[in-house]
Amino acid sequence: MDIGSLIGIIAGAIFMCFGILSAGEGFKGFLMFIDLPSIILVIGGTAATMLILSPLEQCLNGIKIITKVFLIKKNSIKEIIAQMVQFATRARREGILALEEEADKSTDTFLKQGIQLAVDGTSPEAIKEILENEISALEGRHSDGQGLLKAGGTYAPAFGMIGTLIGLILMLATLDKPDGLGPKMGVALITTFYGAVIANFICLPMADKLKTRSKEEILLKEVIIEGILSIQSGDNPRLVEQKLNAFISPRLRISNGLKDKKEG
């Protein structure tokens, strides 16, 4: 679980509630911001638009990808580099066929696939092409999830405005009863509030978080590809380590499993 995302959502909700309650109306003022028809209109309308934009299967896959906002990858890039150096050490000592055992134990399907291709004697060009195709497919799936959230960020405010227009029409139809205009105007504007909150507090931040997560995952896979190709070519562990360290900031680099002392 990504504690940062969870804390951000909880803190944002608390700050909004504080802003509402601090207006002086207390809990009664808070209840004024709850309107079930408006909630149904904005959320339901936004969800319906997403279904129109994308096939149902793509929407369902996108929802699964959205869960990555709250998930943390099991392996960091430093752990992957250290693991590839260990593989290189064993391959130099026992031969690349010894890595088949490591592939069987790995829970990372991408790493397992790459190691198995190398063990099977696949050419470096073919390994790189196959694994890069896997990355391209991954980017496409991640793009679907980001696209759904960006669509939500675009259309939620639009449905908020639609709700406001509906409320204004109903309000204008009762101009002969001026005492009820104030409350009805408040309800009419609530849908715009809901649309703005869904877009700017939920959909768009999550889309950007998914973009960051996608970059991190793709970088990990690029490190794996470079490591496998380096091991297959017979590079010594130190050279493998130096090649893979080039993918990350100098302050995060490892040297024999330890942080590099260099600044940068």
pLDDT in tens, 138-196: 888 888 888 888 999 999 999 999 988 888 887 887 777 766 666 667 677 889 999 99
**What is residue 126's predicted lDDT score, i.e. its pLDDT?**
95
Q: How many domains does the chain have?
A: 2
220 and 250 in a single domain? The answer is yes
Do 21 and 48 share a domain, yes or no? no
The confidence score (pLDDT) of residue 263 equals 38
DSSP per position, 85-110? HHHHHHHHHH-GGGHHHHHHH---HH
264 belongs to a structural domain? no
Residues shown for the chain = 264
- 18 and 149 part of one domain: no
For residue 181, the model assigns a pLDDT of: 67
pLDDT for residue 102: 79
Q: What is the pLDDT of residue 249?
A: 77
Q: Are residues 77 and 17 in the same domain?
A: no
Domain that holds residue 11: 1-34
CB 221, CB 138: distance < 8 Å: yes
Do 24 and 115 reside in the same domain of the chain?
A: no
95 and 9, same structural domain? no
Indicate if 18 and 113 belong to the same structural domain: no
Residues in the chain with pLDDT < 50?
A: 257-264
Q: Which residues of 106-141 are buried (b: 16+ CB within 10 A; e: fewer)?
A: bebebbebbbbbbbeebeeeebbeebeebbeebeee
Verdict on whether the full-model pTM lies above 0.85: no
DSSP string, 25-56: THHHHHHTT--HHHHHHHHHHHHHHHHHHS-H
How much is the pLDDT for 255?
56
Biggest distance spanned by C-alpha atoms of the chain: 91
**Rounded distance between C-alpha atoms, residue 163 and residue 85, angstroms:** 59
Q: Give pLDDT, residue 135.
A: 93
